[in-house]
A and B are shown apart, each in its own frame.
Chain A
Amino acid sequence: MRYLPLTQDDRIDMLARIGAPDIDALFASIPESKRLRQNLDLPQRKTEIEVQRLLSNMAAKNVVAGSAPFFIGAGAYRHHIPASVDHLIQRSEFMTSYTPYQPEIAQGTLQAIFEFQTQVAALTAMDVANASMYDGSTATIEAVLMAHRITKRRKAVLSGGLHPHYAEVVRTISRMTGDDVASLPPDVLAQENLAGQIDSDVSCVVVQTPDVFGNLRDVSALSAMCKAKGALLIVVFTEAVSLGLIKAPGEMGADIAVGEGQSIGNSLNFGGPYVGLFAARSKYLRQMPGRLCGETIDADGRRGFVLTLSTREQHIKREKATSNICTNSGLCCLAFSIHLTLLGEAGLKRLARINHANAVDLAGRLARVGGVEVLNKSFFNEFTIRIHGDAAEVIERLAEKGVLGGVPASRLSPGQGLDDLIIVASSELNTDEDRAALAATLQGVF
């Protein structure tokens, strides 16, 4: 077996040193009646060629996003990733290292995390960011739990513009913890009255911008209202590129900002792994979940970095920890950081402008298709259209014609009367021809 260096002779020598008659003697602590006597009912080992063939055949059954005019977003976005990003994250020293528990031989990972934390704080205009979470949805529930700890209240208000999967994650965990959730109905036009929901039990209001329907939301007034009522404002984003062009959570008074970082540096990967971004006001630092990297010096006085404030964490605090999480999204956060370093401020802003320009162009083209109405007053690179007909069926028909045209809102929120809505995203990867193809194909399927 190509991955196992021990030879049969080695094994015999080693057993002799151990003083065991055979390998099964080392498994004697497993109750004899339950020890497997034969191989599992699974295929035997395969050569690299065979495995390649097996996996490639499965991959070939999927329609690759890059092979079609592609307009799907709703929480995960297809963007260009510079070739150097994937090359660098595959460096052995990044890819095959562990959590930096021995900082003297993990300064590469630690400095990269320190840079990442600084980038995320800047991008969100918040004071402090952690070393990342699993994804945007898990970062959101962690933010809600953090708000409960800070305010000592136990009710979250969720905007109807919050990604329905994120809302479902918050409701699921809150049901388990016995906390209250007021989940507002889908708010396609960004018209809900969130401020009216804040009573003295509310610990936090969770609002997404750009929201799941693509609307941009000014939450400054809501922030003031939260402050007046002793609640925290949690601002969520699922498209990190938008922060190159639109007001950041910290500029609108967010207490905690969380989001999905996939769209910078990370492939679609059918939903994971992604990277959750988590940032907060510094006064809440000690209630933050997740890992934090801090600056210090070594015995020679040289600058270095370590994981810090671990007294919040499970390996010290056990059941009293701020979170059960003991990992960040290592390589995904590194990919995010490398891509953002390549872009820089100038590149990120331009990338964001291109995205917006393409979406504006697409919205114009679709608005001219008979039977299509663009619903958004404002948007970044994603918006919602109303069509005459069933959106899920239309999306299937578009796929049959080779166009991946968007997400039916009913797939995210079934049974909510959203059957005629499609959420459409556009990025720098869409060409004029792609946008024309979507408009023409949509026209054709009515």
Chain B
Amino acid sequence: MNRLEHPIQTKDSAPLRSGTFTSNRGLQMEEGLIFEIGRPEVTGVDLDEPAPFESRLGGLEREAPIGLPGLSEPETVRHYVRLSQKNYSIDAGLFPLGSCTMKHNPRLNEAMARLPGFADIHPLQPQSTVQGALELIDELARWLMEMTGTVAVALSPKAGAHGEACGMMAIKAAIEAKGEGATRRVVLVPESAHGTNPASASLIGFEVRAIPAQADGAVDLEELKGRLGPEVAAIMLTNPNTCGLFETQVIEIAEAMHAAGAYFYCDGANFNAIVGKARPGDLGVDAMHINLHKTFSTPHGGGGPGAGPVVLSARLAPFAPVPFLRANEAGLRLVEHGSEEPQSFGRIAAFHGQMGMFVRALTYMASHGADGLRQASEDAVLSANYIRASLSDLMSQPFGDQPCMHEVLFDDSWLKPTGLTTLDFAKAMIDEGYHPMTIYFPHVAHGAMLIEPTESESKATLDLFIATMRDLAAAALGGDTERFIGAPFYAPRRRLDETRAARNPILKWTQPTPQ
């Protein structure tokens, strides 16, 4: 194939700056779309045409061309390998994306998830043929309940946001069971919360009210108490919160909610900071989702799949969605229908949850053990504080210099005199070989920079990162704005025009019209 037939430049764009004939730069290969390099008659899968037979399609044959190109296996492998080389990954370097927990993904997890006994079993096989799978789910549930100090777990949520919706549905069902469904309709959400929290509450019909943070980044207990009343259903609180701080008044918050007849939903996105150090159930939490892809290191996979089991307090356990496990003399049994458990609020996904992720998470847990899990939390918190202590003289923190949990939050006030933005700073980090930290979140910090190193980094890696950040900060403050404004210079692409993408959305490839 001659790739020059498929110029990657758009018609109205400036000439390429790259000096090579191919536009490649060493190991950085330009790569066309499968629609540009493939052909509909090519296939990379050898299959034998079936013997003639009488079709039973009832006249519904598809006749028009579908429009799917094919590639041979070598071409397919090369295409995706070339694409992969344009991605940053935790395997390649420090990925300090705050709130996302980019820790190492042990390969044993992958190997275990691919055992045929887990990967090649069907969710609707007779339950007598999948007792090992049910045992694994039961064991995972045991670990999650012990770590969180709760009594039940709903395993079917497929990601964190799905878990939030699940937990809030359990709360709604509990409220309705008490006959308060018509009146308790308000959910309180701190301004610092992930956007998924208000979106999840709103999805299932709650009215969302924001509560402001106080000067130290925590929820204002008195402000909260002032907003409680018979219309309040729950609070959705992230703890440790998105500023990387533990809500010190969490017990008082829980007591206030319960005294007002409301529930405490905890966003467990940051549970990785406190595993083995404190249990959310002991703090008064009624429901909390756990991002298995964060705390328990099932890989992020470029955006999924995740898994978001929800642990539940005794007050909410009866309302858990199907399916769930029951033990009897014949072994473990999946309860798949609400008719067996009338208080169950229903079903939120077709099957039993993200089994592939359960295997990975349990593998991770069993590898660490109770001692290793606690050590992981301690190392994560230690590493974040090490970065904080090493950068706090140069970069500003919105809530003052105080110990953080697993992530440290800076704002952009220290950058003000330079005229540079958080985005500029982040893009310059790319040139230095780092994935930027989380930027512009949480919204309570102006130009937020949220750094989460995780427990997976060696001290040498942390020291080089700190030295790089200090060099960048010194350059910014010293007026070397060139290094930032045009960045990144060395990535597979320079800064991309997001406004253009949104103004005239091109969401799929279309055959170019002949000139």
Asked whether B507 lies within 8 Å of A3 as measured between CB atoms, the reply is: no
A348 at the interface (CB under 8 A from B): yes
- Chain A positions within 8 Å of B61 at CB level: 245-247
Complex partner residue of A246 from B62, B196, B336, CB under 8 angstroms? B62
Pair B60/A58 contact, Cβ less than 8 Å: no
CA distance A344 to B277 in the complex (A): 52
Contacting pair B116 A134 (CB below 8 A):
no
The answer on a CB contact under 8 Å between A270 and B133 is yes
When the two chains form their complex, are residues B106 and A3 in contact, meaning their CB atoms are under 8 A apart? Answer: yes
B344: nearest chain-A partner, CB-CB: A172
A414 to B322, CA, bound (A): 14
Contact assessment for A114 and B135 in the assembled complex, using a CB-CB cutoff below 8 Å:
no
Known: A58-B132, A97-B88. A379 touches B56 (CB 8 A): yes
Q: Is the CB of B115 within 8 A of A41?
A: no
Chain B 370-411 near chain A by CB (<8 Å), digits 1 or 0: 111111101101110110111000000000000101000000
Q: A10-B459, A62-B118, A93-B84 are in contact. Are A34 and B300 (CB under 8 A)?
A: no
Residues of B within 8 A of A345 (CB): 40-41, 65-70
B479-506 near A? 1/0 per residue, CB < 8 Å? 0000000101001111111101110011
Task: List residues of chain A with CB within 8 A of the CB of B2.
Answer: none
A95 x B301 contact (CB < 8 A): yes
Which residue in chain B gives the minimum CB-CB distance to A66? Answer: B120
Q: Which residues of B contact A7 (CB under 8 A)?
A: 459
Contact B120 A268 (CB under 8 A): yes
- Given the interface pairs A30-B277, A59-B118, the reply to whether A96 lies near B91 with Cβ below 8 Å is yes
Q: B244-255: contact bitstring with A at CB < 8 Å (1 yes, 0 no)?
A: 011010110000
B464 at the interface (CB under 8 A from A): no
The yes or no answer to A106 lying at the interface (CB within 8 A) is yes
Q: CA A153 – CA B89 in complex, angstroms?
A: 44
Query: How would residues 184 to 204 of chain B score, 1 for a CB under 8 Å from any chain A CB and 0 otherwise?
Result: 000000000011101111111
> Which residue in A45, A95, A302, A340 is a CB contact (below 8 Å) of B68?
A340
User: Does any Cβ of B come within 8 Å of A327's Cβ?
Assistant: yes
Of residues 49 to 65 in A, which have CB atoms within 8 Å of B's CB atoms?
Answer: 50-52, 54-65
Q: Does B77 contact A (CB under 8 A)?
A: yes
| B268 at the A interface (CB under 8 A) | no
B351 touches A271 (CB 8 A): yes
Question: A93 to B303, alpha carbons, bound, how many Å?
Answer: 12
Which of A115-123, A197-205, A222-230, A437-445 contacts its partner? A115-123
Tally of A-B Cβ pairs under 8 angstroms: 747
- Residue A84 lies at the interface, judged by CB distance under 8 Å to chain B: yes
Query: Which of B121-129, B223-231, B259-267 is near enough to bind chain A?
Result: B121-129
CB-defined interface of B48-88 with A at 8 Å, one 1/0 digit per residue?
Answer: 11110111111111101111111101001101110111111
Q: Given A346-B41, A346-B42, A414-B339, do A36 and B128 touch, yes or no (CB 8 Å)?
A: no
Question: In whole angstroms, how far apart are the Cα atoms of A46 and B421 in the complex?
Answer: 46
A248 to B390, alpha carbons, bound, how many Å? 59
Is B276 interfacial (CB-CB < 8 Å)? yes
The complex places the Cα of A39 from the Cα of B368 at a distance, in Å, of 12
1/0 contact trace for B271-296 toward A, CB 8 Å?
Answer: 00010111100110000000000000
- Please tell me which one of the listed residues A39, A272, A305 contacts residue B374 in the complex, with CB atoms under 8 A apart: A39
Distance A344 CA – B354 CA, assembled complex (angstroms): 29
Identify whether the interface residues of B are mostly helix, strand, loop, or mixed: loop
Enumerate chain A residues within 8 angstroms of B419, measured Cβ to Cβ.
none
Contact with B along A296-332 (1 / 0, CB 8 A): 1111111111101111011111111101111111111
Are the C-beta atoms of A3 and B87 separated by less than 8 Å?
Answer: no
How distant is A221 from chain B, measured CB to nearest CB, in Å?
A: 13
Convert B88-106 into 0s and 1s, putting 1 for each residue whose CB lies closer than 8 angstroms to a CB of A: 1111100101001010111
B391: min CB distance to chain A, Å: 11
| Contact present for A169 and B385 (CB under 8 Å) | no
In the bound complex, CA of A378 to CA of B54 (Å): 12
Contact with B along A18-56 (1 / 0, CB 8 A): 111001011111110011100111111110101110111
Q: Does A258 contact B (CB under 8 A)?
A: no
Q: Which of A173, A271, A315 contacts B355 (CB 8 A)?
A: A271
B348 within 8 A of A: yes
A360 to chain B, nearest CB (A): 5
Q: How far is the CB of A310 from chain B (nearest CB, A)?
A: 8
In the bound complex, how far is the Cα of B228 from the Cα of A409, in angstroms? Answer: 48
Whether B354 lies near A273 (C-beta < 8 A) is yes
B218, closest chain A residue (CB) = A29
Is residue A182 within 8 Å, beta carbon to beta carbon, of the partner chain?
A: no
Q: Which residues on the B side are within 8 Å of A329 (C-beta)?
A: 304-305
Which residues in A have their C-beta under 8 angstroms from that of B371? 1, 39, 44-45
Interface assignment of A388: CB less than 8 Å from any CB of chain B = no
Known contacts A96-B91, A330-B303, A344-B38, A58 near B136 by CB under 8 Å: yes
| Contact, CB under 8 Å: B196 / A324 | yes
Shortest beta-carbon distance from B149 to chain A in Å = 9
Please, what's the 1-or-0 string for B10-46, where 1 marks a CB less than 8 Å from any CB in chain A? 1001111100000000000001011100111111110
Closest 4 CB pairs of A and B: A344-B70, A59-B117, A271-B351, A301-B13
